[in-house]
A = this chain, B = another copy of it.
Amino acid sequence: MSSHTRVKKDKEIIGDYETQVKEIRNQLVEQFRCLEQQSESRLQLLQDLQDFFRRKAELQLEYSRGLEKLAERFSAKIRSSREHQHFKRDQNLLSTVNCWYLVLNQTRRESRDHATLSDLYNNNVIVRLAHVGEDVFRLFKKSKEIGVQMHEELVKVTNELYTVSKQQQNVMKTYHMYHTESISAESKLKEAEKQGEKQIGKANDVSTSLLRHDDRQQRRSSVKKMEKMKEKRQAKYSENKLKCTKARNDYMLNLVATNALVAKYYIYDVSDMIDCCDLGYHASLARTLRTYLSAEYSLETSRHEGLDQLEGAVDAMDVRGDKHRVMDMHSQIFCPPARFDYQPHMGDEVCQVSAQQPVQTELLMRHHQLQSRLATLKIENEEVRKTLDATMQTLQDMLTVEDFDVSEAFQHSQSTESVKSASSDSYMSKVNVARRRANQQETEGFYFTKFKEYLNGSNLIVKLQAKHDLLKQTLGEGERAEYGTTRSCVSAHPSSTSSSTISPPTLPAKPRRMRKPRPCSVFNHKLFNGNMEAFIKGKTEYPNPQPGLRAGYTSGG
C-alpha cells in the first residue's frame, strides 16, 4: 500500500505536522473565546433579570400603594358613617354590606401581597441573581485555569512530535536519522556486494588462462578484502537497521500516545472544562426562578383565599335575613300595635255578640251572605294570585340569569394577541342590555298593578272573614269546647292586660300552596320576641294572603 504513497522529505513531514498542530492551537484559542462569550452572555442575562426584577418590584410597590390608598379611602368613609355605627355589631351587619367590606378586605389583602412580592423581588430574587453572577464570573476564571493546564499539556505533547528541545531527543528525528543511515548503509552494502560479484567474475575469467602465482596471490587477497568489507558493511547495515527499527518503534509509540491524549482532550477534557464553567449555573438560576414562582404562586393562593371568602359572602347574601335585621333594628316601628279592645258603654255588662232572638235570624242570614261573598272573592283573588306568582317567576328568572361569566375575555389565543373588549360581549352589548332592562321594567310594572289588585281583594277578604268567623262562633258553634268557653268572645272581649298584642285575623284553612318556610336563622329575630313566629308556626292553617311576593324569594342568589 505504501508503494502508492508519495515519498515525503523530512521538511515536508515536519511542515505537515506543524500545520496540524497550528490548527489545533487555533481551536484551543477559539474554545476559550467561546467559553468567555458564554459567560458574558450569562452575566448579561443575569444583569437583565436583576434590572427586570428591580423595575417589577417598583411596579408592585406602586400598585400595592394604589390599592392601599383606595381601600383606605372607603374604609375611612365607612368608619365615619352613620350606617357603620348602626351595623357595627356583627349580627346586625347586612349581607350586602358584608360583601362590600370583603371587597375592601380583598383590596387590602392584594395590597399587602403585592408589597410582599416587591419585598421578595428586592431582597431575595435579586440577591440570588447577584450571587449567580458572582459564581459565573469566578467559575469562568477557575475553569480557564483548568483549561490552560489542559492546553499546555496538549501543546507540549504535539510539539514534541516534530520539534527538537534541549531536554529531550525528538523520536521522529531520531527515526529519520537512523533510517537515513540505514539507507546509506544498505546502499554501501549493495555496492560492496556488486564489487564483490565483479571481482569473482574476474577471477573466473582468468582462471582459464595461466596466471602467475603472484597474480593469483594478489587476487585472492583482494577477494578476501572484499569479503571483509562486505561483512563490515553488512554489520553496519544491520546495526543501522536495528537502530532505525527501534527509533521507528519509539516514533510510533509516541504517535499513538499523542493521538490518545488529543482524543481524550477533544472527547472528554473540553467537555469537562465547560462543565466546570457551568457548575451550578442552571441549578442556581432554577432556584432563583423557583423563588419567583413560589412568590407568584403564593400571591395567587392568598388572592384566591380572599376571593373565596367574598364568593362565600355573595352566596350567603340573604334578602330575607337582611329584611329581618332591619326590622329588628327598628323593632319599635314594626312592632304590631295593641289590639283595639271592645269598650262597654256606661256599665254595659254584655261583652260578646248576642245571638238571641230576635237578632239570631238576621245574624244567620248575614253569616250565610258573608260565606257566599267570601267564596266568590277568594276564587277571584286566587286567580289574581296565580298571575302574580307567574309574573314573579318571570321576574326572578330575569333577575337571576347567569350572565356574569367573563372568562372568555381572558382567553389568550395564540394567533391574535388582541384583548377582547368586555363591552363587545354580546350579552353585555348596549342593545341587549337596553332590551333586557325594558323587558324587566315592563314585567315589574305589570307585577305592581296586579299586586295592588290582589292587595285590595285580600284586604276585603280579611275583614269579611273576621266578621264571618265571629258570627260562626256566635251562632251555635259554641258546642265546640274551644270556641264555646275560652274563645267565644275573644275578638271583642276587653283584654285583662293592656299590653296584649293584636291577634291575627283568623281565616278558615283552605288548600293553598304552603308558604315556603323561612330559613332557620331568620327565626332568631327579636321583633315579636319570638312570639309571632311561634304563633304562625302554631297556626299552620293560617294561609299567607299574599304568597306571590314570597314565592321563590329566599336569598339574593
Contact = CB atoms under 8 A, between A and B. Distances in A.
A286 B421 CA distance: 22
Given A17-B340, A120-B406, A459 B146 contact: no
Nearest to A1: B351
Q: Give the dominant DSSP class at A's interface.
A: helix
Contacts of A164: none
A336 B259 CA distance: 11
A350 interface: yes
Given A264-B458, A359-B242, A407 B62 contact: no
Nearest to A343: B13
Given A266-B502, A404-B294, A259 B340 contact: yes
A409 B122 CA distance: 14
A92 interface: no
Interface string A311-343: 100100111001100110010011111111111
Contact of A492 (B66, B256, B276): B256
Interface in A274-333: 274-276, 278-305, 307, 310-311, 314, 317-319, 322-323, 326-327, 330, 333
Interface string A114-136: 01100110111001000100000
Nearest to A158: B340
A407 B290 contact: no
Interface in A243-266: 244-246, 248-249, 251-253, 255-264, 266
A451 B276 contact: yes
A435 interface: no
A24 B257 CA distance: 118
Contact of A283 (B45, B338, B400, B504): B400
B352 A492 contact: no
A249 B344 contact: no
Given A103-B289, A263-B503, A275-B549, A253 B470 contact: yes
B285 A252 contact: no
A62 B155 CA distance: 61
Interface stretch (A26-34, A196-204, A225-233): A26-34
A389 interface: no
Contacts of A410: 113, 116, 295, 298-299, 301-302
Contact of A314 (B56, B267, B289): B289
B115 A419 contact: yes
Given A253-B470, A505-B264, A275 B323 contact: yes
Contact of A422 (B120, B274, B342, B356): B120
A248 to B, nearest CB: 6
Contacts of A523: none
A179 B346 contact: yes
A540 interface: no
Given A48-B77, A318-B282, A352-B252, A338 B119 contact: no
A93 interface: no
Interface in A444-484: 444, 448, 451-452, 455, 458-459, 462-467, 469-471
B119 A260 contact: no
A541 interface: no
Contact of A491 (B146, B244, B256, B503): B256
B466 A317 contact: no
A333 to B, nearest CB: 4
Given A100-B48, A138-B441, A262-B502, A319 B281 contact: yes
Contacts of A343: 8, 13, 16-17, 172
A292 B407 CA distance: 11
A146 to B, nearest CB: 6
27 contacts: A20-B338, A30-B330, A31-B334, A34-B330, A52-B74, A52-B104, A56-B70, A112-B417, A115-B419, A146-B455, A172-B343, A176-B345, A248-B348, A249-B354, A251-B342, A252-B342, A252-B492, A253-B353, A255-B492, A260-B505, A263-B336, A263-B503, A266-B336, A280-B399, A281-B319, A296-B307, A298-B410
Q: Which 9 A-B pairs have the closest CB atoms?
A: A282-B556, A260-B505, A260-B466, A266-B336, A123-B423, A256-B491, A257-B463, A298-B410, A280-B399
